[in-house]
């Protein structure tokens, strides 16, 4: 399997357990690793033969900037569902960090999901 990486995307959203967290935009850092079979795209050099990175970025952005969620785990799960709509992607690993919530340390979560 081959992997496509998109690292350290930064978006603002209103997510968290506390009402204060949901009332003020906070910064979220998202990195994804997509398991794909590159195969012939390495030779064809055509976007239509692979995964469009911008499409993946837009899906992540829509979730982070969209409806408020309580948990990072839920945000990651919703992103995975959107990304795995692309049948070229066999697995996705998503890491989300909430970089501004604590004064010391950065909480985050990493999940891995597979296309059925």
106: Cβ contacts below 8 Å, ≥ 6 apart: 97, 98, 99
CB 79 within 8 A of CB 59: yes
Active-site residue identified among 54, 57, 97, 98: 98
98 carries an active-site annotation: yes
Evaluated on CA atoms 10, 16, 18, 22, the torsion sign reads: positive
CB atoms within 10 A of CB 84: 17
Which H/E stretch holds residue 77? helix 72-83
DSSP state, residue 6: E
Q: Which residues are catalytic?
A: 98
């Amino acid at each position: 399997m081959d992997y496509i990486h998109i690292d350290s995307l930064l978006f603002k959203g209103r997510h968290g357990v506390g009402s204060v967290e949901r009332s003020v935009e906070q910064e979220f850092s998202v990195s994804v690793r997509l398991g794909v079979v590159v195969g012939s795209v390495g030779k064809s050099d055509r976007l239509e033969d692979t995964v469009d990175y911008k499409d993946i970025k837009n899906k992540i952005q829509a979730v982070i900037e969209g409806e408020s969620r309580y948990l990072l785990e839920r945000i990651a799960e919703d992103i995975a569902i959107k990304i795995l709509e692309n049948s070229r992607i066999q697995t996705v690993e998503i890491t989300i960090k909430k970089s501004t919530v604590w004064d010391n340390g950065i909480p985050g979560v990493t999940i891995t999901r597979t296309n059925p």
